[in-house]
Amino acid sequence: MCNAFVSPVVNGRNNAYMKKTCIVYSLLAMTIAVLSFSCTKDKVTESYTFYRPIYQVADAVKANIKTDAPRPIKLTGKLAIRGTYLYLSELNEGVHIIDFSNPRAPINIGFVAIPGCVDLAVRDHYLYADCYTALAVVDIANPRATKLTKFINSVFPDRYSGLASDASKILVSWQRVDTAVSYRYDTKFDKTLNGIVLEDVTFFNASASYGGKSSSGSNSTGGSMARFALNGDRLYTVGWTDMNVMNVADAASPSLIKKITVGRLIETIFPYKNNLFLGSQAGIYIYSLNDKDNPAFLSQLLHVQAFDPVIADDNYAYVTLRGAAALGGSWLELVDISNLTKPVLVKQYTNIMTDARGLSKDGNVLLVCDGAAGLKVMDAADPANMKVINTVTGIKAIDVIALYGLALVMTEDGILFMDYNNPLDIKQLSGITWTKN
């Protein structure tokens, strides 16, 4: 390798010199190569988005829980109807109060700011609404001049976890943060260190819906997809796996009686007579309220995992399911509950729904919201042989409340007031449109 074209004597001396030089250089090269091993750290740069909670002092938040000027409706939550007033939650913002004494000309009369509000119910002239983990009690005797009368902390701990529940602060908004973090490839990285709240995301999978007759006595209308349910002087609220039992005999001052564990993946609660029907992604759970402070488990009927609001009448429970790949993804189930301890699946109405959501029943008329396919009107005179007799198209129907011939239909764009006295000829009386973001 180290040739030179000179005399053999000189060539020999040059070769020896070159060989020594080569050995030195080679050893040096190998040393440097070994040192280069320190440049073999693998790196990952992770770019992601998280949401940072923004807090406000609790006293400031409570001071703002009162009727303010009406706001445009942007993102709906749940409905409650009491008399001729519709209480509509704006997700995590508060409650819109709508006067529909004239269904042809409903009026948005005010807005009550309640951070974290999703679910609500009304008893006498008191509105119960969740304020993240707390329960706010609002006097709505005069809907145009409401006021906060009581604030109960730690009623709904399911609302978020991984976040310190400091009663002196209330979560009011979320800040989007885009960030990038670099680390060695073989190390674990815990995103919660950056403030992401590990919220129970499935807690709010049930979209807003109420379905059923108008309120009897002092309680607001119970429905198919709500998480709050009033039965007599008791308020029952469900979380992911538990149920709160609250005494609202004194409507102005509810008190927590107990919290019990119920099923799993619970999304909705529907009271009917002296029973509670809990809809979960796993099935239906039926509880007896013979002892109103101690709901007793009667039975369950499981199904494939899907979103499923449920309503009931004297003999049957009606369940819409969506989100399951099986059976076309969406269908209506009829369950015989004549024996509450042994519910029996009677029939599955498949291939007539594409995106079934909230539902409501009034006599022999079953109204089923079918997403973009509109509102399906079914003849339920013979529940085991129901047929679709009319469809209101051109709307993305999400929820419906049937009120003795007046249907309040929540759509993607607003609320429609419809006359269904003649189910074959449903007329739209009026509507309130949401503000597009």
Partner 1 sequence: MLKKLPVLLLLLITVTGFSQQQDTTSVSWYLSPAFTLLNGDHHVSQSVSLSTGVRMKSLQIGLGAAIDYYKIRSLPLYLDLKYKWRGKPAPFLFAQGGYNVAWALEHQHSTEKSSTGTTVYNNGSYFNAGAGAYVFRDGKEAVSVSLGYSVKKLTELYQVTSWAGGVWYYNNAKMDYTLRRISLTLAYEF
Q: Taking contact as CB under 8 A, which single stretch among the options 17-25, 316-324, 375-383, 407-415 is the one that binds partner 1? A: 17-25
Quick one: 161 or 290, whose CB is closer to partner 1? 161
Question: Token pair of 317, please?
Answer: 């429970």
The contacts of residue 389 (CB under 8 Å, 6+ apart) are: 377, 378, 379, 423, 424
Count of CA atoms in the C-beta half-sphere (13 A) of 287: 25
CA torsion 361→82→228→437, rounded to 10°? Answer: 90
Q: What part of residues 71-110 is at the interface with partner 1 (CB under 8 A)?
A: 75, 77, 91-92
Min dist CB 35 to partner 1, Å, is 5
**10 is a contact residue toward partner 1 (CB under 8 A):** no
Q: Can you tell me the distance from the alpha carbon of 99 to that of 95, in angstroms, rounded to the nearest whole number? A: 13
**What's the token pair of residue 26?**
């080679």
Assess 344 for contact with partner 1 (CB under 8 A). no
Q: Which of 7, 8, 32, 59 binds partner 1 (CB under 8 A)?
A: 32
Q: Considering the rule CB under 8 A, would residue 193 count as an interface residue with partner 1? A: no
- Of 9 and 34, the one with the shorter C-beta distance to partner 1 is 34
* Residue 94 or 423 having the CB closest to partner 1: 94
**Least distance (Å) between residue 327 CB and partner 1:** 22
Nearest Cα neighbor of 67 from 169, 142, 145, 10 is 145
| Part of the chain binding partner 1 (CB under 8 A), chosen from 50-58, 144-152, 371-379, 390-398 | 50-58
Q: Which is nearer to partner 1, 9 or 35 (CB)?
A: 35
CB of 344: closest distance to partner 1 in angstroms?
35
* 16 touching partner 1, by CB under 8 A: no
The residue from 9, 59, 185, 273 that contacts partner 1 (CB under 8 A) is 185
CB atoms within 10 A of CB 46: 11
Give the contacts of 114 (CB within 8 A, at least 6 positions apart): 65, 93, 94, 95, 129, 131, 136, 138
Choice from 7, 8, 9, 35 touching partner 1 (CB under 8 A):
35
Out of 7, 8, 9, 41, the only residue in the binding site for partner 1 (CB under 8 A) is: 41
In 323-372, at which residue ranges do the beta strands (DSSP E only) sit? 330-336, 344-349, 359-362, 365-369
3: contact with partner 1 by CB under 8 A: yes
Which of 7, 9, 33, 261: binder of partner 1 (CB under 8 A)?
33
Query: In b/e form, how buried is each residue of 355-380, taking b as 16+ CB within 10 angstroms?
Result: bbbbbbbbeebbbbbbbebbbbbbbb
Tokens representing residue 14 in the block:
């040059």
> Beta-carbon neighbour count of residue 427 at 10 Å?
11
Return the range that interacts with partner 1 (CB under 8 A); candidates 48-56, 103-111, 368-376, 417-425. 48-56
Binding test (CB under 8 A) with partner 1, winner from 10, 17, 48, 296 = 48
Q: Contact between 42 and partner 1 (CB under 8 A)? A: yes
Structure tokens at 299: 């039975």
Per CB under 8 A, 113 contacts partner 1: no
Segment near partner 1 (CB under 8 A); pick from 24-32, 148-156, 320-328, 403-411: 24-32
Please identify, using beta-carbon distances, which residue of 11 and 430 lies nearer to partner 1: 11
CA-based radius of gyration for the chain: 31
CB atoms within 10 A of CB 184: 10
Question: Looking only at residues 140 through 179 of this chain, which bind partner 1 when binding is defined by CB under 8 A?
Answer: 173-174, 176
* Count of beta carbons in the 10 Å neighbourhood of residue 32: 9
The residue with tokens 């400091």 is: 166
Structural contact between residues 148 and 114, judged by C-beta atoms closer than 8 angstroms: no
Q: Which 347-406 positions form the footprint of partner 1 (CB under 8 A)? A: none
Residue 251 CB, shortest distance to partner 1, in Å, is 26
The tokens 């109807």 sit on which residue?
A: 81
Q: Which member of 7, 8, 37, 69 binds partner 1 (CB under 8 A)?
A: 37
The residues that touch partner 1, with contacts defined as CB under 8 A, are 1-3, 18, 21-22, 25-26, 28-29, 32-33, 35-51, 53, 75, 77, 91-92, 116, 118, 173-174, 176, 184-186, 196-197, 199, 201, 204
